Amino acid sequence: MICIAIANQKGGVGKTTTAINVGTALAATGMRVLLLDLDPQGNASTGLGIGRAARDQHSTYDLLVGSASLDEVAIPTKVPRLDIVPATQDLSGAEIELIEFEARTHRLDAALARHAPARWDVVLIDCPPSLGLLTINAMVAAHALLVPLQCEFFALEGLSQLLSTIDRIRSRFNPGLSILGVALTMYDRRNRLTDQVADDVRAVLGKVVFDTVIPRNVRLSEAPSHGMPALIYDYRCAGSEAYIALAREVIERLPKLRKAA
Ligand SMILES: Nc1ncnc2c1ncn2[C@@H]1O[C@H](COP(=O)(O)OP(=O)(O)O)[C@@H](O)[C@H]1O
Ligand SMILES: [Mg+2]
C-alpha cells in the first residue's frame, strides 16, 4: 500500500479536485483506492456524492480520535474500486482535541497501518488548507506528497513554508517522506502570465514538477455539484484528459516509492 498526501496550505489550489480525479483515474486502472477526506469542509466527500447520513456514521474524525477503526469508517463511492472515509465539521475541533492525545502526530499513521495494507493499493489523503495537526498527521502517515500549485503570480509564495514543514516531519517522524511531484493547476492558456509562472516554477523546482499541466476548465468545477468526479461527469473535457495524463505520471513514479516503502 502506498499512501500519498495531497497537500498545500493554500486553499483553492486544486487539492480536492486532484484527489477526486486522480483517485478515480487510478481506480479505473484496476487499483483499489481509498480517499481519506481530512478537510473539515468535506469537499471531497460532497464531490463524490456522499450524503449527510453516511457521513455522520463514518468519518475521519472518528478515525483520528479512535472511536472507530478504518474498516468501520471506509465506505464505497459510486466509482468502482474507489472507497472514501468522509469528513464532517467535527474535524475542525480535532486540531485542538488531538493535542491532549498520546502520540497525537501518529494517529492517522497508526489507524492506516492496522487495516489499509490488506484492502487498498493506494491511499490518497485530501489535506485541509493549513499546516496544523491534521496535515502533520497526513505527512507522518504518507510515503509521499503530491503538491498542487496554482498557476498564479504568487504560486511560489508559501512553498518555502511547506518545504520547511516537510523537512521538519522528515527529521522528526518520517525520514522516508518524499515529494512525488508538484502539479501545476488552473493553467489558463489565454493568460500569458500563467505561462510565465509555469516556466518560473519549473526553473526553480525542476523535474519534481509533473509534465502535465491541469488547465482551468469549467467542467472540473461543475462536476462536484453533481456529486461525481469530472472524469465521469465528462470524461472527454480538457480537464478530465489532463487528470488522466497526470494519473499516468503518478503511476510512472510509484515504483520508486514502493521500493522505499
Ligand atoms: N482546473 C480547474 N479549473 C477550474 N476550476 C477548478 C479547477 N480546479 C479546481 N477548480 C475549482 O476551484 C475551486 C477550488 O478547488 P479545490 O480542488 O477545492 O481546491 P483546494 O482543495 O485546494 O481548496 C473549486 O470550486 C473547484 O471546483
Ligand atoms: Mg480541498
Q: Quote the pLDDT of residue 237.
A: 98
Mean pLDDT of the 13-32 span: 98
* Closest protein CA for atom 24 of ligand 1: 221
Residue 217 Cβ inside 6 Å of ligand 1? The answer reads yes
Mean pLDDT of the 135-155 span: 94
Mean pLDDT of the 156-160 span: 85
Residue 150 Cβ inside 6 Å of ligand 1? The answer reads no
Q: Could you tell me if 35 and 44 are in contact, meaning their C-beta atoms sit under 8 angstroms apart?
A: yes
Question: What is the C-alpha end-to-end distance of the chain, expressed in Å?
Answer: 8
In angstroms, the CA 15 to CA 7 distance is 7
Mean pLDDT of the 54-67 span: 93
In angstroms, the CA 36 to CA 106 distance is 15
Higher pLDDT, 157 or 178: 178
Q: Quote the pLDDT of residue 6.
A: 98
Q: Cell numbers 517522524 label which residue?
A: 173
Q: Quote the pLDDT of residue 116.
A: 86
In angstroms, the CA 58 to CA 75 distance is 8
Q: Could you tell me if 70 and 85 are in contact, meaning their C-beta atoms sit under 8 angstroms apart?
A: yes
**158 confidence band (pLDDT: 50, 70, 90):** confident
* Closest protein CA for atom 10 of ligand 1: 221
Q: Would strands 144-150 and 82-85 be described as parallel, antiparallel, or unpaired?
A: unpaired
Q: Could you tell me if 188 and 242 are in contact, meaning their C-beta atoms sit under 8 angstroms apart?
A: no
Mean pLDDT of the 97-122 span: 93
Q: Cell numbers 502539479 label which residue?
A: 183
Q: Quote the pLDDT of residue 175.
A: 96
Q: Could you tell me if 123 and 34 are in contact, meaning their C-beta atoms sit under 8 angstroms apart?
A: yes
Query: Which option is the CATH number for 2-256: 3.40.50.300, 3.40.50.720, 2.40.50.70, 2.20.25.90?
Result: 3.40.50.300
Asked if residue 65 has pLDDT above 80, the reply is yes
Q: Quote the pLDDT of residue 35.
A: 98
Q: Quote the pLDDT of residue 192.
A: 86
Q: How far is the CA of 185 from the centre of ligand 1 (A)?
A: 9
Q: Cell numbers 514502493 label which residue?
A: 258
Q: How far is the CA of 92 from the centre of ligand 2 (A)?
A: 14
Dmax (CA) for the chain in angstroms is 51
Residue 14 Cβ inside 6 Å of ligand 1? The answer reads yes
CA 12 vs. chain centroid, Å, equals 13
Mean pLDDT of the 127-140 span: 97
Q: Which three cell numbers stand for residue 142?
A: 504518507
Q: Could you tell me if 144 and 22 are in contact, meaning their C-beta atoms sit under 8 angstroms apart?
A: no
